[in-house]
Structure 1
Amino acid sequence: MQFVDVTPRVWKRLLAVQQGLACTCCGRWSPGERAALDLYGPLARRDVGPVTVGQIGQSLDGRVATVSGDARDVSGPDGLAHLHRMRALVDAVVIGVRTALHDTPRLTVRLCAGRNPARVVIDPRGRLPDDAPVLADDGARRIVVQAVDRPRPAGVTALHLPLRDGQLDPAEILAALQAEGLNSVLIEGGGITIARFLEAGLMTRLQVAIAPLLIGGGPQGLTLATPSPLLADAIRPEMRVFSLGSDVVFDCGLTPEAVAATAPLHLGRDGVSRA
């Protein structure tokens, strides 16, 4: 297990990597800083093509909320800071409308330096009210993916896609976001939304952050609509483990490109990135 230490100078380096101005290998780093570069580097890089990463914060017994729906403190303080860092490093963060309605998230970056990502809500039937916190005008792009012809406030982009078997197709959602210039995407919630992108084979990485608490009941973090009947057929990703302090992150590479992205990035004198 690698112990992560996100110091100001290592975070400055990661933001420079995001802008294509720096590498993840050069420099003198402590073991904890090197672990931070290893954990966040694949998310910061823009030379590896489109990236779709899912993130789940859950308890030791795999719950994301209590039976009553209380999910506010499932992740510890370091797990929450980790989520904000992920937001700061991607182009867009995506949630389903049920998460937007139930949790009323803002999806902003408040616990680290960096810009707010574009906020995207998957809302097939136009249920999201226009005054939802996720649509607040704070300078970040706001996008609603919907199948209905429902007008949205000025400054909010409505992407219209057709329903497929009563749902919006994850591949068409990603294609529409990439057409908007959003190539690095964080699927933040809820579990059903993450599972749909995972089952469609569209997820590059999956991060599961586990906090040391036992809830005993409530919704599970990830349940697939078509689970594997045999362990031999189960998804077995390439995995790395990092300690954040209050939480432990399992970083899972789901594609060969994701595994390759964990190699250190070096910028040559010609500005070309090389692993």
Structure 2
Amino acid sequence: MHSVTVTRQVWDRVLAVRSGHACACCGVWSEGEKGALALYGPLARRDLTPMVVAQIGQSLDGRVATVSGDARDVSGPDGLAHLHRLRALVDGVVIGVGTALHDNSRLTVRLCSGPNPARIVIDPKGRLPDDAPALRADGARRLVVQAVERPRIAGVEVIRLPLVDGIFRPRDILSALQKSGLSSLLIEGGGITIAGFLEAGLLTRLQVAVAPLLIGAGPASLTTKIPHLKLADCIRPDTRVFGLGSDVLFDCGLSPDASAATLPIHAPAPTHAHRSASSLS
């Protein structure tokens, strides 16, 4: 397991990688700083194909909330800081309308330096109120993906997509967002939204932050619609493990692009393909 120490110097380097002005492979660093560069460097790169990363925080027993819906402290303080760093490294953050309504999500960067990402809410029926925190004007782009003709307040971009069997196809959402100029995306929640992108084979990386907490009952972290009866048919991603302090992070590569991003910028990309979630689509 790699230890992670995010100093000001190492985070400045990561942001420089994001802007295309530096690499994450050079310099003299402590072991913890090297771990931080190994974790965040691949996420900051913009020299590869578009990246889609999902992140979910859960308990040791795979729960994301209690039976009453209390999910506020599932992730520890270091897990929460990690989530804010992810936001700072992507073009846009995607959540489902259920998460937006239940958590009053702001989706801003507050626990580290870096730009606020565009905020995207998947809201097929137009349920999200215009005064929701995710739609507040603060200079960042705000987008709503919906199927209905519901007007939005000034400054909020609306992407109209058709429903297929009552839901949006994740591939249609991704294509529309990329056409709008958002190529690097974080699928932040909830579990149903993440599982949809996973089953469609659209995730470059999946990050699971596990907190030392036993909930015992409540909603599960990830539940796909297509169950596997044999372990041989399950996804076995290329996985790196990082110690964040209060949480342990499993960083799962789901595509050849994920492996390529962990190589030095000047190194050639691998020619072999890894088994990915695309086998589920």
Using structure 1 for the length normalisation, give the TM-score. Answer: 0.96
Q: Distance in 1 between the 2:268 and 2:117 partners?
A: 27
Question: RMSD of the TM alignment (CA)?
Answer: 1.0
Q: Distance in 2 between the 1:55 and 1:229 partners?
A: 25
User: In the TM superposition, what is the alpha-carbon distance from 1:105 to its structure 2 partner?
Assistant: 0.7
User: In the TM superposition, what is the alpha-carbon distance from 1:87 to its structure 2 partner?
Assistant: 0.3
1:116 maps to 2:116: yes
Q: Residues 1-275 of structure 1: matches in 2 within 5 Å? A: 1-266=1-266
Q: Distance in 2 between the 1:49 and 1:111 partners?
A: 28
Q: What is the CA deviation profile of residues 2-49 of structure 1, one whole-angstrom value per residue up to 9, with x for unaligned ones?
A: 000000000000000000000111111111111101101111000111
- Structure 2 residue identity aligned to 1:150: R
Q: What is the CA deviation profile of residues 195-227 of structure 1, one whole-angstrom value per residue up to 9, with x for unaligned ones?
A: 000000011100000000101111011000112
User: In the TM superposition, what is the alpha-carbon distance from 1:58 to its structure 2 partner?
Assistant: 0.4
User: In the TM superposition, what is the alpha-carbon distance from 1:264 to its structure 2 partner?
Assistant: 2.4
Higher strand share: 1
Q: Distance in 2 between the 1:254 and 1:206 partners?
A: 7
Q: Distance in 2 between the 1:48 and 1:240 partners?
A: 20
Q: What is the CA deviation profile of residues 55-101 of structure 1, one whole-angstrom value per residue up to 9, with x for unaligned ones?
A: 01000000100111100000000000000000000000000000011
Q: What is the CA deviation profile of residues 149-192 of structure 1, one whole-angstrom value per residue up to 9, with x for unaligned ones?
A: 11000000000011111111111111111111100000000000
Question: Tell me, what secondary structure is at the counterpart of 2:115?
Answer: coil
Q: Give me the identity figure in percent.
A: 72
Unaligned runs of 5+ in 2: 270-281
Q: Distance in 2 between the 1:50 and 1:245 partners?
A: 30
Who is 1:269 aligned against? none
Question: Tell me, what secondary structure is at the counterpart of 2:208?
Answer: strand
- Structure 2 residue identity aligned to 1:241: V
What stretches of structure 1 move > 4 A for 4+ residues in a row? none
Higher mean C-alpha displacement, 75-84 vs 253-262? 253-262
User: In the TM superposition, what is the alpha-carbon distance from 1:274 to its structure 2 partner?
Assistant: 6.4
The number of aligned residues is: 269
Q: Distance in 2 between the 1:225 and 1:98 partners?
A: 18
Q: Distance in 2 between the 1:57 and 1:262 partners?
A: 23
Who is 1:270 aligned against? none
Question: Tell me, what secondary structure is at the counterpart of 1:168?
Answer: coil
Unaligned runs of 5+ in 1: 267-272
Q: Distance in 2 between the 1:183 and 1:42 partners?
A: 15
Q: Distance in 1 between the 2:46 and 2:22 partners?
A: 11
Question: Tell me, what secondary structure is at the counterpart of 2:239?
Answer: strand
Question: Tell me, what secondary structure is at the counterpart of 2:54?
Answer: strand
Q: Distance in 2 between the 1:227 and 1:249 partners?
A: 25
Who is 2:274 aligned against? none
